[in-house]
Chain A
């Protein structure tokens, strides 16, 4: 098993693969059924700590929105 790699997916979850442990805040192992997991980072998943795709419904963005070209902001 290779060292853990975390992919910070644009507008989406943190994808974790490789050798890692996933534990709760009390240190207990979180049951996982697959090698590569997607961890929620929008806060809206119903199956936390895993991603369930809800970031798409809540308009989660990982980058600041580009300035509105027609906006008045200085």
Chain B
């Protein structure tokens, strides 16, 4: 408590914003929970008694009032901010907040409600036998390509430049931190499953070349499009469901008891990546962009055809053989990923096919246009 005590002893404090020592994030609150949280994070943990007075009741009240945690803007933004204290790079704040009892309690309360909703709404799938091949086969079956509308097909065939930019903004919530949520699982695994996850992650993180890190490739795509690659720069424009998709993997990664769900979630991501990313690359090429923009998508066509085999058989399958009791959670994680991302994709396609923006455009976000476009 030395740091907190010395901060508390530093002098008198007022509630005026002049006293805020930490920079405001590039996004704004969406309700009472995120409002109080963001205000508190401008100040040191030593001020928590004042800044977070009544916070647990505010969180409890918001949870009691919502009928749908996944689509609740205030709760999903708050969970992203709370997970952000663990990731870093989301809000400028006193680093002591990461394990402050109030922020941890709020994080867990929102996570529990979110998980309850998903346990209730995720369709049940038959659990395969706890054998690596059977688990891989069940996951490949669950994630097999389906005909019909999809965001990737829309981008490939008909998206406008503006819609393609919207897609990149939506994807950036996860992809600027690509693979980080899953890295939290590494020490919670052992043997074959751990070796598999590390093999995938080494590739995700560029195989020793920081510029080939997938998050770095995506940041380059954003810059090449003239978009700001700072984390959260467009967060105000991102709907709750897209934030929920990111929070889902953070929740699975940060909770050891959910390591099965994290493995299943990751396997389903890898298994639904190569073919859609080829379409996405084709879409950006159709719109006239070069390899600086498409490299991220093209890299995933090849990389994830490798990763999906390792994730299905060795990560998820290996974990199932080590801990047979986790088979149902492996399938839950995979199914939850498909459900939440399916909701977000459905919403995006609905807006686009109706000629509307898939972003919260009332926030007045400007995504620019192609640099060489003639007016």
| B303 on the A face (CB < 8 A) | yes
* B306 proximity list for chain A (CB < 8 A): 15, 34, 36-38, 51
Fill in one digit per residue for A1-26: 1 if any B CB lies within 8 Å of its CB, else 0: 00000010111110101000000000
Contacts of A47 in B (CB 8 A): 301-302
**Residue in B136, B144, B299, B305 whose beta carbon sits within 8 Å of that of A38 in the complex:** B305
Q: Contacts of A9 on B, CB cut-off 8 Å?
A: 309, 313
Known contacts A9-B313, A11-B140, A52 near B278 by CB under 8 Å: yes
| Chain B: CB-nearest residue to A9 | B309
Contact of A50 among B305, B308, B309, B313 (CB under 8 A): B305
Cα separation A11 to B309 with both chains bound (whole Å): 10
- Flag if B301 contacts A34 (CB, 8 Å): no
- Is A27 positioned at the interface, with any CB of B under 8 Å from its CB? no
* Number of B residues with CB within 8 Å of any CB on chain A: 25
Specify the main secondary structure of chain A where it touches its partner: loop
* Shortest Cβ distance from residue A12 to the other chain B in the assembled complex, whole angstroms: 6
| Chain B residues within an 8 Å CB radius of A54 | 275
Cβ of B281 to closest chain A Cβ, rounded Å: 11
Q: How long is the Cα–Cα vector from A15 to B133 in the complex, in angstroms?
A: 15
A74 to B302 Cα, complex, angstroms = 42
CA distance A63 to B89 in the complex (A): 48
Measured between beta carbons, the chain B residues less than 8 angstroms from A34 are 203, 207, 302-303, 306
A35 touches which one: B133, B203, B299, B304 (CB < 8 A)?
B203
**A30 in the interface (beta carbon within 8 A):** no
Give bound CA distance, A46 to B278, whole Å: 10
User: Across the interface, which residues of A come within 8 angstroms of B202, CB to CB?
Assistant: 35
How many whole Å from A33's CB to the nearest CB in chain B?
A: 7
Residue A57 is within 8 A (CB to CB) of chain B in the complex:
yes
Q: Interface of A with B (CB < 8 Å)?
A: 7, 9-13, 15, 17, 33-38, 46-47, 50-54, 56-57
6 more A-B residue pairs beyond the given contacts A35-B203, A36-B310, with a C-beta to C-beta distance below 8 A: A7-B309, A12-B309, A33-B212, A53-B301, A53-B305, A56-B140
A/B interface sample: 10 pairs, CB < 8 A: A13-B305, A15-B306, A15-B310, A17-B199, A34-B207, A36-B310, A38-B302, A52-B275, A52-B301, A56-B144
